[in-house]
Structure 1
Amino acid sequence: MDVQRVILIAALALVSYLMVLQWNDDYGPAQQPQQQAATVSAYADTTPAQNVSELPQATDASASADIPVTAGSPATAPAMQSLISVRTDVLDVLIDPHGGDIIQVALQEHLSALASDQPFILLEQNANRTYVAQSGLIGRDGPDASPDGRPVYTSANTEYVMDGDALSVDLNLTTETGVQVTKRFSFTRGEYKVGVETIVNNMSAAPFNAVLFGQIKRDGSTDPSQQTSMGMQSYLGAVFSTAQNNYQKVDFGDMDEERFVASSPDGWVAMVQHYFLSAWIPAPGAEYKYESRKLNGQYLVGFISPEFSVAPGQSETVSATFYAGPKDVDQLEKIAPDLNLTIDYGWLWWIASPLYMLLKWIHSIVGNWGLAIIGITILVKAALFHLNAKAFRSMAKMRKFGPEMARLKELYGDDRQKMSQEMMKLYQKEKINPLGGCLPILVQMPVFIALYWVLMESVELRHAPFYGYIQDLSQMDPYFILPILMGVTMFIQQSLNPTPPDPMQAKMMKMLPILFTFFFLWFPAGLVLYWLVNNILSIAQQWFINKQIEAGEVKD
């Protein structure tokens, strides 16, 4: 290859690289910072009849559980009340006194974008998006089942800030019959779970019968935390956990077609997206009804408790736990059985879970998630060393005797039967197994796929820096350096393999590094780093084995 040709190829490569950079600036996937639209009361612009229709119906004998509650006579919408702000070390929450619902949750330790100082908003109620957590009392005497609409609670303050290890926020209500209802939100330092207790003090002369409900209402908007537009996409939708099925996905498409209804002792319901989730976990020890509904373009998933009764002069407390935060294994395992399954590793979870624990352990030593990825790649490669060696040894022998195979093909090209016989003699004489490299590679594939999902689902990698210009391992390499290096290593690795005898297949194999480089351009940098290190280790191992085979130092 002359100098002029080298210069032309280098210039073409440079121009192509600059064109890809410009295309990405104009049309490529970009991380969209969340718009800070003004949060408003979930019910400020609606009538009580519309509000009540969003609530589930109590599971009593007098009405069907499969339809929403219908409101009574129209009434005037309640006056606007000040939203109640609660701030802890990890949560920034807004509670609407109309119904006592959580209408915004901002995560203090997770930013909306890498260059932003704004927290990531998981729940919100505004012109851009609807995603809120509702709860209350329905049934015969439940204040949320009143034809006058959702009740309006009062609180001692409109702003609460945690200054200790725990914080309680009480919302109070007295019904027309004299029943005192307190909705208590309990927050704990460092935790994303919120205890929600509803305390009923019956000061009336008649028994108070009601049903506790908790539900998550969300529109069908896209996942704001899904940061990649290529590759596998994380699940977006609802998940139910019951005694019959501890992890059952019900996505928006499923809810469009039919309602999900199940009864189960204990359990939970969650709304899941990439990196984050919200979930209602009712208090254990009762039979709950779980359901999904679609109403007015909104998706509602939740639970309904059995009916409880409070005698005159007595009090009763019903409770549930609400979680809104990251997919943190340690916290999810403590809150409810199987809630950690919302970190979805797919059908290879039994491989992925140990790999995740290994990744966390390496990070605890090296202190950098990029180094942890390199470390786990090395350990996985070491664990599969002998399988890889067998595959590389087979390919090295195929490469060594490639000229002899080509001679036999040229000599007996017109007699396929004779050529096959001579090739088999060569394989037997030199102990070559043409399929020797296939089985080890097939065995490795589940490990590679499982590790891919671990890197995709680990919230710890979100906004986690490596070194130099890579400040977010969950985002693509902004200058495409890692994907290009990955393509180069793939080309080098391919050059160490025997050339396929079929010319068309050989041309296709030469195109693979280019195709894979383009495919990996928009992959998260952490995933590309894994493949790059894996390729480098494979090149080193294969080169070493090739040298041994050529020198006759390795014999089967």
Structure 2
Amino acid sequence: MDKRTLLAIILSVIVITIGFTIQSILYPPVTPETATTESNQGSQGADSSEVQERSDENSGEVNASQDVSQGFIALGDDPGSTSPVSFSDGAVYEGVIDPVGASLISFKLLEHRDGEDPVDILYDDGSDLVGLRTRFGGWNGQDMNVPFHRQASTDPGVLRFYRDFAPNNDPEKAFRITKSYHFYPEEYMFELTVEIENIAEPSKIPPIQIADNSYSVVVTPQIGPRITALGSARQRGVDYRRFMAYTGDKRIELKNSNPGSPEVREDRFTWVAVDGKYFSLAVIPGNAEFSSVFSTEQTKDGLQGNAVALERAPLSGSKQIDTYRIYAGPKKPETLKQYNLPQNNELGLRGLDLDVLVDGGMLTWLENILKEGLKLFYYIIPNWGVAIILLTILVKLLFYPLTKKSLESTRKMQEFAPQLKEIQEKHKDNPQKAQQAQAEFYKKNGLNPLGGCLPILIQFPFFIAMYGLFNNHFDLRGAMFIPGWITDLSTADTILNFGFTIPILGWSELHLLPFIYLASQLLYGKITQNPGQGAAGGKQAKMMMFALPIVFFFVLYNVPSGLLVYWISQNIVTMVQQIWVNKHPKKKKA
């Protein structure tokens, strides 16, 4: 869910809660309760037809003549086979490298599902330029889309490919590009090494420079898993794509605001990433000089692309070896933190701080405490939906003394409602005197108009922390609550697909949980409504009872079902507490 939706929900909760409380004070007796530095711009690359045209030229006859400004020609015979090369560690990942370009075109995470298949972190939109690729020159330069030779390696985790090139098909300026992939068992981090060597004149710098760059490493068109409507109201509640970068002391989010014009940054980032709600792909450059490019453009299948590139500065020697580390995996804090200490990862990396990809705030510590409680309930009853309900009940019970105090304070205000109404009528022509008389009345009878509001406000940090927990907790992804209905707590529950989109609302599916939420909220208002209030109070009560819950219904329609399970459970528990507090004094009085 994006920040605007989160802000809207939080503000709505505050308004509806305070509104219900103020309603009970002003019109008794009613007791209702209830964040970037830069704009990201850009396109993924040159026009796809133009890039493909260049690629077709490159894979044609070796002796074809081309101007340097148009690209580089592959020398020598093409490899006998261009069959994709598969690899796997059998536990964490499996992938595919296309010898055409020696590009990584698939990296599947075996422990995480996308429907019935593993999540593929490299999104495939059906175009020819997909995955982790290299290009001559800048981010939109000529793709190295020609067959590479496979080079034998004694290390089973290393796959190596090479090809000779020359500008303008000039063999006297020939140079060799060798691309090596190093995959480690049970690691989401792997290495890409790009080696460029002048083979025609070993003492000279390879003639690979175009403008201000030699080559680029590009992730295109975006990351997986596959999505169907990125940017729609439904998808914003389920997943997103954004650009992230890290300077070594702070995280920077770059928003996508101007597709068609890339955002080029000269900053020295520790890493750059295309980030989703549950998965990220981060590129950690080596020590050479790079500039970062962030670009957005529509993919071939009509979605928003999010491509990131590192443009290598001109080479300074006859042989250059650059090593990139790429993290392609889940946004689980315990996994990302492994790359902060060298003893915790196979690559011996330290201080990457990839865990800052996980959204957090001032209440992260509280969210972590609640997460441990959620895991405990899941351990007892292995169903995340049941765990959410049990955690909600526990928190409501812990706050019952405050809730009871709030309800009792509000009820006490209701008992003196007739006297307060008489004061208002008596001084209806003099509001200042009416307020003074009310203040004296409060003091005389030991009343506190804010007594019903403050205990509720104290609970808001817990509400915000639980919201973040149920909205972002990784373990809720793909978690089933009720078979056949709530099959994934990280997405909205869908009982019917319309086959069309409702205008303005943008709905294409029917979700049941938002209607249950609305019913629970209206029932709560009905239970706490008192028919004995005045006309003005009645009008305000109807607004609180009907209008705000309905507005909230539309805001929450596409949120993850785990959030709504929590919200509905909280409403039900609060209603039970309300009924108990209201009945208990009657029994005592009798």
TM beyond 0.5: yes
Equivalent position SS for 2:191: strand
Task: State which of 310, 316, 332 in structure 2 corresponds to 1:328.
Answer: 332
Give, in whole Å, the separation in 1 of the partners of 2:239 and 2:162: 40
**Correspondence list, 1:162-311, <5 A:** 167-173=157-163, 182-198=178-194, 205-206=202-203, 213-218=216-221, 223-224=227-228, 229=234, 234-243=239-248, 246-254=250-258, 256=260, 259-264=263-268, 267-283=270-286, 288-293=290-295, 300-304=307-311
| Structure 2 unaligned regions, length at least 5 | 1-47, 60-67, 166-170, 209-213, 300-304, 340-350, 496-510
| Structure 1 unaligned regions, length at least 5 | 1-40, 53-68
Give, in whole Å, the separation in 2 of the partners of 1:51 and 1:412: 90
What displacement does 1:369 show? 1.7
Q: Partner of 1:81 in structure 2?
A: 82
What displacement does 1:289 show? 3.0
Q: Return the structure number with greater relative CO, CA threshold 8 A, min gap 6.
A: 2
**Correspondence list, 1:417-496, <5 A:** 419-468=434-483, 469-478=485-494, 482-495=513-526
Give, in whole Å, the separation in 2 of the partners of 1:240 and 1:521: 32
Q: Is the 8 A contact 2:223 2:281 kept in 1?
A: no
Q: Partner of 2:148 in structure 1?
A: 153
CA RMSD of aligned residues (A): 4.7
Distance 1:215 1:422, change over 3 A: same
Equivalent position SS for 1:252: strand
Give, in whole Å, the separation in 1 of the partners of 2:195 and 2:367: 43
Q: Is the 8 A contact 1:409 1:419 kept in 2?
A: yes
Q: Partner of 1:91 in structure 2?
A: 93
Q: Is the 8 A contact 1:167 1:188 kept in 2?
A: yes
Q: Is the 8 A contact 2:405 2:455 kept in 1?
A: yes
| 1:133 and 2:123 correspond | no
Whichever residue aligns with residue 582 of structure 2, its letter is N
Percent identity, please: 27
User: CA offsets, 1:39-74, max 9 Å, x none?
Assistant: xx999943249989xxxxxxxxxxxxxxxx953478
Q: Is the 8 A contact 2:203 2:318 kept in 1?
A: yes
User: CA offsets, 1:420-476, max 9 Å, x none?
Assistant: 455334422332222233334344334423432332223321220113542221233
Count of residue correspondences: 478
| 1:104 and 2:106 correspond | yes
Task: State which of 348, 362, 376 in structure 1 corresponds to 2:391.
Answer: 376
Give, in whole Å, the separation in 2 of the partners of 1:146 and 1:525: 44
Whichever residue aligns with residue 280 of structure 1, its letter is V
Q: Is the 8 A contact 1:461 1:473 kept in 2?
A: yes
Q: Is the 8 A contact 1:476 1:522 kept in 2?
A: yes
Give, in whole Å, the separation in 2 of the partners of 1:323 and 1:44: 27
Distance 1:185 1:323, change over 3 A: same
Q: Is the 8 A contact 2:487 2:493 kept in 1?
A: no
Whichever residue aligns with residue 531 of structure 1, its letter is W
Give, in whole Å, the separation in 2 of the partners of 1:355 and 1:519: 25
Q: Which has the larger displacement, 202-211 or 234-243? A: 202-211
User: CA offsets, 1:452-510, max 9 Å, x none?
Assistant: 23322233212201135422212333456644443344334334546575222111122
Give, in whole Å, the separation in 2 of the partners of 1:496 and 1:51: 74
What displacement does 1:370 show? 1.5
Equivalent position SS for 1:269: strand
Give, in whole Å, the separation in 1 of the partners of 2:529 and 2:449: 11
Q: Which has the larger displacement, 270-279 or 544-553? A: 544-553
What displacement does 1:395 show? 2.1
Distance 1:478 1:205, change over 3 A: closer
Q: Is the 8 A contact 2:95 2:108 kept in 1?
A: yes
Whichever residue aligns with residue 203 of structure 2, its letter is A
The TM-score with structure 1 as length reference comes to 0.69
Give, in whole Å, the separation in 2 of the partners of 1:246 and 1:510: 44
Give, in whole Å, the separation in 1 of the partners of 2:241 and 2:97: 25
Distance 1:231 1:386, change over 3 A: farther
Distance 1:233 1:526, change over 3 A: closer
Distance 1:485 1:396, change over 3 A: farther
Distance 1:151 1:74, change over 3 A: closer
What displacement does 1:185 show? 1.9
Whichever residue aligns with residue 302 of structure 1, its letter is A
The TM-score with structure 2 as length reference comes to 0.66
Q: Partner of 1:60 in structure 2?
A: none
Give, in whole Å, the separation in 1 of the partners of 2:545 and 2:458: 25
Q: Is the 8 A contact 1:197 1:319 kept in 2?
A: yes
User: CA offsets, 1:178-236, max 9 Å, x none?
Assistant: 87654332333443332223456887742556867432222799954869618757542
Q: Is the 8 A contact 2:123 2:222 kept in 1?
A: no
User: CA offsets, 1:272-328, max 9 Å, x none?
Assistant: 223222221224x5664323356898754223456666678xxx7532222223322
Give, in whole Å, the separation in 2 of the partners of 1:366 and 1:464: 13
Q: Partner of 1:62 in structure 2?
A: none
